Amino acid sequence: MGTLKNQVQLIGHVGQEPQVTVLENGKKVAKISLATNENYRDSKGEKQTNTDWHQLVAWGKIASLIEEYVFTGKEIAVQGKLTSRSYEDKEGVKRYVTEVIVSEILFLGGNGK
């Protein structure tokens, strides 16, 4: 089990257009939100869907691929690792963020554009 360290795999649909930024050092970073759905039947036997939203961050070549090929509604599969960080907002309130740092991406569901 030593090789199973902080690995996340998700398949879902992109919730908004990617936010791609080029940093001062020339490195690209892309940020997107991904919706994953879980379907189940409730106690009355009715179908229910639970949607979770995940914040994804990709760097370098993967960020460039996202910039070129990813758009709102696109189905993708990603692999990466979970990271958590905190920051203070403009009002001085401490905020906590959990993100998936993407190491691999797979485009699913056809072109769509």
| Range(s) of the domain holding residue 26 | 8-37+48-107
Residue whose pair of structure tokens reads 């879980």 in the numeric block: 38
Model confidence band, residue 5 (pLDDT cutoffs 50, 70, 90): confident
Residue 3 lies in a domain: no
Residue 1 lies in a domain: no
CATH of the domain at 79: 2.40.50.140
- What is the pLDDT at residue 37? 95
Residues contacting residue 59 through CB under 8 Å, at least 6 positions apart:
27, 28, 29, 30, 101
- What is the pLDDT at residue 109? 80
Residue 93 has pLDDT above 70, yes or no: yes
The phi-psi region of residue 95 (left if phi > 0; otherwise alpha if psi is between -120 and 50; otherwise beta) is beta
Residue 18 lies in a domain: yes
Residue 43 lies in a domain: no
Residue 26 lies in a domain: yes
- What is the pLDDT at residue 84? 96
Element (H, E) at 54: strand 47-59
- What predicted TM-score, i.e. pTM, was given to this entire model? 0.85
Residue 113 lies in a domain: no
- Rg over alpha carbons for the chain, rounded to the nearest Å, is 16
Interval 23-57: pLDDT, tens? 999 999 999 999 999 999 999 999 999 999 999 99
Residue 56 lies in a domain: yes
Residue 102 lies in a domain: yes
CA distance 6 to 95: 22
Total domain count, the chain: 1
Residue 112 has pLDDT above 80, yes or no: no
